[in-house]
Amino acid sequence: MKTNNFRKHAHELVDWVADYMENVRDYPVRSQCEPGDIAAQIEDEAPQQAENFETIFEDFKSIIMPGITHWQHPRFFAYFPSNSTPESQLAEMLISAVGVNGMLWETSPAATELEEKMMQWLGQLIAIPKDWSGVIQDTASSATFCALLCAREKATDDRSNTQGLYSEKKLKYYVTHEAHSSIEKAMKMAGLGSSNIHFVATRRDHSMDHIALETAIERDLAAGHIPAGIIACIGATGMGAIDPLRRIGEIAKAHDIYLHVDAAWAGSAMVCPEFHAFMDGIDLADSYVFNPHKWMGIQFDCSAHFVKDKDRLIQTLTILPEYLKSNEGVTDYRDWGIQLGRRMRALKVWFVLRGQGVDAIQERIRNHILWTEKLAALVSDHPDFEIVTEPRFSLFTFKHKDGCEKTDALLQAVNDAGYTYLTRSVINKKSVIRWSIGQTDCQWQDVADSWSHLLDLR
């Protein structure tokens, strides 16, 4: 494509995007298409000859858009949010323009140095200890995978990296049943084995019972195993469980066990100082991850991974072939994660934090939390419904009093109608509906309208 055509089409696209942002409420939130609908409309082979951009863009609108679930829809209350902002989109345009691979400092000094600064900004905002370091990963799953590897190397004095796990005792990792599935996946990928996850009992509020943790560790030690890692959660996915960080940290310290904190979703709320109490005990942890791409308006993908001891991470992951040898005294982020190549994600952090300011981000998060409490009060007052778990930040769960079947049927009806979008979960073996508020442009009216709509379908 010639530059003059690029200029023309790019302008058209920007107009389309601005219209989309203004009119996103007109779309059904969850894509209404059936499996195979989209694939059936796409050619089986790549074209030999170039097609013109008008045709391609028309196909995007007519074929692709119906298969889009609108994560940026203000009535998206499913899963956790994955929200965007105009500032973030503008940064992504520039990131794609320069097309940088920031694997080494030298391959774009600005990518590395901006990333270091942005991790410092984010760390200050959410009360990460000042002497920690940070790196932007693609996802929390990657950060957690790295954390499990660090724990493995710490527990085996760096032997497993070279010798493998063949002659090691069993390494045990401690989580609760509320912990994210990325931990089990990481156990498999790291060769640690998912059966070596120790699911620690929880308290009534689904948080980790630290006494049960201590007992589990003592038992594993007595059995000749090595307790290697603990993953504490602040705001677990199912219903937002919050593990007692300081208590867990004290146990981790006493036994010299690596402690990773998964706050993928709720970490964004820590930009509000009133939530810093949930960070109490972070000084006893070894690493922490949260996703600005969930709830901070810095669009996917952007996962902030903080580590107390960067040498532990680098020592665990470094590989140094001749062709990658580079400058001394600078950060080469390729040693801080799984992939070699890395996107210049820091630019969108910079654009959003500067373009919006911390005040606006705090206000948005506080509103979401306030509206969640307001909605939960409506649900609780309604004779047909029952709150199952009270709001944790901006998530709560509820069920229909007539039981699981009724709850599931209602959820299906809501999602099929497309007006709003919610997710199912299971708590104490019973179906619940999760309601999670977090989309950037969501207003109380969107929440209230969605609630009346749900009542109409009941």
Ligand X SMILES: *Cc1c(COP(=O)(O)O)cnc(C)c1O
Q: Which is nearer to ligand X, 137 or 156 (CB)?
A: 137
With H, G, I as helix, E, B as strand and everything else as coil, classify residue 231. Answer: strand
Q: Which is nearer to ligand X, 84 or 237 (CB)?
A: 237
How far apart are alpha carbons 233 and 264 in whole angstroms?
9
Q: Which is nearer to ligand X, 264 or 410 (CB)?
A: 264
Rounded to a whole number of angstroms, the minimum distance from the CB of residue 176 to ligand X is 12
Rounded to a whole number of angstroms, the minimum distance from the CB of residue 82 to ligand X is 8
Cβ atoms of 29 and 76 closer than 8 Å? yes
List C-alpha distances in Å: 217 to 176, 213, 259, 279.
Answer: 14, 6, 13, 24
What is the binding site for ligand X (CB under 6 A)? Answer: 80, 139-141, 180, 182, 233, 236-237, 262, 264-265, 291, 303
Rounded to a whole number of angstroms, the minimum distance from the CB of residue 238 to ligand X is 9
Rounded to a whole number of angstroms, the minimum distance from the CB of residue 291 to ligand X is 5
Cβ atoms of 422 and 416 closer than 8 Å? no
Backbone φ, ψ for residue 15 (5° rounding): -65, -40
Rounded to a whole number of angstroms, the minimum distance from the CB of residue 422 to ligand X is 16
Q: Which is nearer to ligand X, 133 or 291 (CB)?
A: 291
Q: Which is nearer to ligand X, 288 or 398 (CB)?
A: 288
Q: Which two tokens stand for residue 227?
A: 């307790």
Q: Which two tokens stand for residue 202?
A: 């929880």
DSSP structure string for 344-399 = -THHHHHHHHHHHHHHHHHHHHHHHHHHHHHHHHHHHHSTTEEEEEEEETTEEEEE
Rounded to a whole number of angstroms, the minimum distance from the CB of residue 391 to ligand X is 16
Q: Which two tokens stand for residue 247?
A: 């208590």
How far apart are alpha carbons 174 and 229 in whole angstroms?
6
Q: Which is nearer to ligand X, 154 or 293 (CB)?
A: 293
Q: Which is nearer to ligand X, 182 or 287 (CB)?
A: 182
Rounded to a whole number of angstroms, the minimum distance from the CB of residue 80 to ligand X is 5
How far apart are alpha carbons 241 and 168 in whole angstroms?
33
